[in-house]
A and B are shown apart, each in its own frame.
Chain A
Amino acid sequence: MNVGVAHSEVNPNTRVMSSRGMWLTYALGVSMLHVVLLSIPFFSVPVAWTLTNVIHNLGMYVFLHAVKGTPFETPDQGKARLLTHWEQLDYGVQFTSSRKFFTISPIILYFLASFYTKYDPTHFILNTTSLLTVLIPKLPQLHGVRIFGINKY
């Protein structure tokens, strides 16, 4: 099972997020997470929403912006080894539909969380910082940028 034996798609990672059913699976996954958090008896509704938002953004940061490279060897001689998954999406082309979807979904989650926490100040600070950690790496200006050399190699 090797990449590139029977097709010329050099890096299959670029196509994963736009394949059929991925967005639906992602939405279902987030709802499942939220339902699980809501069912824990000692979390009130605002706490459950803030936790959903924070855990979702943490997961998104780790898998899209922290982990670099591909989990399989690609025939492109390591061009994508130092790129995070977000930077690999669609071979670096900006403003494609998957990129727009995954930029908008944390924002929607943020709106919902702000509503259900009734704009409480502590929750607001937590939600906003968490949203910023996941929105700033998605800016096209930060494509390939590693601040202070963190996560460079």
Chain B
Amino acid sequence: LNHIVHNGGLYKRPFNEAFEETPMLVAVLTYVGYGVLTLFGYLRDFMRQWKIEKCQNATEREEQKDFVPLYQDFENFYNRNLYMRIRDSWNRPICSVPGAKVDMMERVSHDYNWTFTYTGRVIKDIINMGSYNYLGFAQKAGACQEAAARVLSQYGAGVCSTRQEMGNFDKHEELEKLVARFLGVESAMAYGMGFATNSMNIPALVGKGCLILSDELNHASLVLGARLSGATIRIFKHNNMQSLEKLLKDAIVHGQPRTRRPWKKILILVEGIYSMEGSIVRLPEVIALKKKYKSYLYLDEAHSIGALGPNGRGVVDYFGLSPEDVDVMMGTFTKSFGAAGGYIGGKKELIDYLRTHSHSAVYATSMSPPVVEQIITSMKCIMGEDGTTVGKARVQQLAENTRYFRRRLKEMGFIIYGNEDSPVVPLMLYMPAKIGAFGREMLKRNIGVVVVGFPATPIIESRARFCLSAAHTKEMLDTALKEINEVGDLLQLKYSRHRLVPLLDRPFDETTYEETED
């Protein structure tokens, strides 16, 4: 079902998010598939134990068999019986810059994926639908690369110190001022690793006696940071504002669990775009709730910075809201800027506090100068300050690519999750065998995709995840769509029961409108 929400004027544009439910037949067949795989897993384990089949896993020596077991056998069950069979779809070695097209080392396995050998051949020009290269800044030639090479020859590659000691370069200060200007906040701080930004800064912000309200599908870095802080964590249903409001009301009315004292702080943790679902957070409603119940908001824009919004400034720009409403704006430079690292932006007092109290700031090595220069150049390009309209063109190209790709896939009949404007497109596969088959078939047709299954997703929601890029031209997308169509017919992946009738060719007038076939 498509939910088009015009929520009391909070949203300035329609918010189209759809998560079509698994068809019942497909769910039953998926369970049967996992059941058969489990039974065969037990059979193979039995054969391995009775030495009928060679055991390729790590085992203890014969003398140690009488001791307490060293390896946890059952926890490895899924790994050796399911994951090993389709393992060639992951950890593929690439040997060129991961732009719109990528080269990959070909590898074969003669013992069913237990070991791999390189054939020596390089598969060239694979259309890259898996890299988080939203604005296409993963390039080996161009303004960013030249600037980074210049800084590399000037500053070198390493920093050899933390920010607090000798590692605070003028480049870092320049970057932080630029990030603050880009986001529209007072001050910002940049760290060397995006994961470490979340996991080391949340403990600096909240502690025991505080409450964290975190979305169901938050990334491991946010979950780790929340757990390390020692605060109480309550989880609300994904993007569900009624669930969040209920938790806020309960928290304020009942206070802390036993003592009933008021909470010291309530922090809401959400992400801009959730990369597994392709959904965008309902930011206007979250901000309205935050103001009503006087709590704080921590927004992780790892995937949405640069990828959403008419100016590429992220999910705040996309909804047309003010950046001052978000207390802590976090993001990463890995995805849209083609670099590495993370940042936190907010009020000056907050960032000054984090400079002294965050573990990332105090103990972690600062960012490498060429990486910093890459971010500075790409950010100036997006903002238009380098004197060209290349950045604006890229942002618009990404939005067009997103709309076109999603529409074409829906017309073909696949089940696609997520918001219409999100450049992350999960395509549902459901059955375990189709995960491996899809990855391999797409590689045969020279398209690289990322597939993911249980237990990283719920058991009946395995998917392939496409990440669109501004570097993809329409021809590349058409080729990819043609191949996806073929593979979809071959593997019977077109499960959708809501088929969109393709838009008519004649121009729009009052008598034409979109129809949905049910």
Interface on A for B, CB 8 Å cutoff?
Answer: 1-9, 12, 15-16, 19-22, 24-25, 28-29, 67-73, 75, 81
A-B contact count (CB 8 A): 94
Q: In the complex, A72 Cα to B216 Cα: how many Å?
A: 20
The residue on B at minimum CB distance from A8 is B223
Q: For residue A68, which residues in chain B have a CB less than 8 angstroms away from its CB?
A: 74
Shortest A27–chain B CB gap in Å is 10
The residue on B at minimum CB distance from A72 is B78
Q: In the complex, A72 Cα to B275 Cα: how many Å?
A: 22
CB of B74 within 8 A of CB of A24, answer no
CB of B83 within 8 A of CB of A1, answer yes
CB of B32 within 8 A of CB of A25, answer yes
CB of A7 within 8 A of CB of B77, answer no
CB of B74 within 8 A of CB of A2, answer no
**Interface of chain B residues 423 through 454 with chain A (CB within 8 A):** 452-454
Q: Give the interface centre of A2, A7, A12, A25 by most chain B CB atoms within 10 Å.
A: A7
CB of B456 within 8 A of CB of A19, answer no
One digit per residue, 1 when the CB lies within 8 angstroms of any chain A CB and 0 when it does not, for chain B 206-239 equals 0000000010111110010000000000010000
Q: Would you mind naming 16 contact pairs between A and B with Cβ atoms under 8 Å apart? A: A1-B456, A4-B220, A4-B223, A6-B217, A8-B235, A9-B216, A12-B458, A12-B459, A15-B459, A19-B27, A20-B21, A21-B22, A24-B27, A24-B28, A70-B75, A72-B78
- Known pairs A20-B21, A71-B75 / 15 extra A-B pairs, C-beta < 8 Å: A1-B455, A3-B456, A6-B274, A6-B457, A7-B218, A7-B276, A8-B235, A19-B27, A20-B460, A21-B24, A22-B31, A24-B28, A69-B75, A72-B75, A81-B75
CB of B452 within 8 A of CB of A1, answer yes
**Taking the complex as formed, is B79 at the interface, i.e. its CB lies under 8 A from any CB of chain A?**
yes
**What is the size category of the interface that chain B forms with chain A?**
35 or more
CB of A7 within 8 A of CB of B217, answer yes
Q: For residue A9, which residues in chain B have a CB less than 8 angstroms away from its CB?
A: 216, 458
Q: In the complex, A16 Cα to B8 Cα: how many Å?
A: 38
Q: For residue A5, which residues in chain B have a CB less than 8 angstroms away from its CB?
A: 219-220, 456
Shortest B270–chain A CB gap in Å is 13
The residue on A at minimum CB distance from B277 is A6
Interface on B for A, CB 8 Å cutoff?
Answer: 21-22, 24, 27-28, 30-32, 35, 38, 72, 74-75, 77-79, 83, 90, 214, 216-220, 223, 235, 274-276, 452-460
Interface SS, A side: loop
Q: For residue B457, which residues in chain A have a CB less than 8 angstroms away from its CB?
A: 6-7
CB of A72 within 8 A of CB of B235, answer no
Q: For residue A75, which residues in chain B have a CB less than 8 angstroms away from its CB?
A: 220
Q: Are A25 and B27 CB-contacts (below 8 A) given A3-B456, A12-B455, A81-B72? A: yes
Q: Are A20 and B456 CB-contacts (below 8 A) given A6-B220, A8-B217? A: no
Q: Are A28 and B216 CB-contacts (below 8 A) given A19-B460, A73-B75? A: no
Shortest A102–chain B CB gap in Å is 15
Q: Which of A1, A4, A7, A20 contacts B27 (CB 8 A)?
A: A20
Q: For residue B83, which residues in chain A have a CB less than 8 angstroms away from its CB?
A: 1
Q: In the complex, A22 Cα to B220 Cα: how many Å?
A: 28
Q: In the complex, A37 Cα to B74 Cα: how many Å?
A: 31
Q: For residue A21, which residues in chain B have a CB less than 8 angstroms away from its CB?
A: 22, 24, 27-28, 30-31, 460
Q: Which of B35, B218, B453 contacts A8 (CB 8 A)?
A: B218
Q: In the complex, A19 Cα to B78 Cα: how many Å?
A: 19
Shortest B146–chain A CB gap in Å is 36
CB of B216 within 8 A of CB of A8, answer yes
Q: In the complex, A16 Cα to B78 Cα: how many Å?
A: 15
Q: For residue A81, which residues in chain B have a CB less than 8 angstroms away from its CB?
A: 72, 75
Q: In the complex, A5 Cα to B275 Cα: how many Å?
A: 11
Which 4 pairs show the lowest CB-CB distances between chains A and B?
A21-B27, A71-B77, A6-B276, A25-B31
Q: For residue B30, which residues in chain A have a CB less than 8 angstroms away from its CB?
A: 21
The residue on A at minimum CB distance from B465 is A6
Shortest B227–chain A CB gap in Å is 9
CB of A1 within 8 A of CB of B459, answer no
The residue on A at minimum CB distance from B32 is A25
Q: Which of A1, A15, A20 contacts B453 (CB 8 A)?
A: A1
The residue on A at minimum CB distance from B233 is A8
Q: Which of A2, A15, A70, A71 contacts B458 (CB 8 A)?
A: A15
Shortest B400–chain A CB gap in Å is 27
Q: For residue B217, which residues in chain A have a CB less than 8 angstroms away from its CB?
A: 6-8
Q: In the complex, A19 Cα to B214 Cα: how many Å?
A: 22
Q: For residue B223, which residues in chain A have a CB less than 8 angstroms away from its CB?
A: 4, 8
Q: For residue B24, which residues in chain A have a CB less than 8 angstroms away from its CB?
A: 20-21, 24
Q: In the complex, A24 Cα to B78 Cα: how many Å?
A: 24
The residue on A at minimum CB distance from B86 is A1
CB of B460 within 8 A of CB of A72, answer no
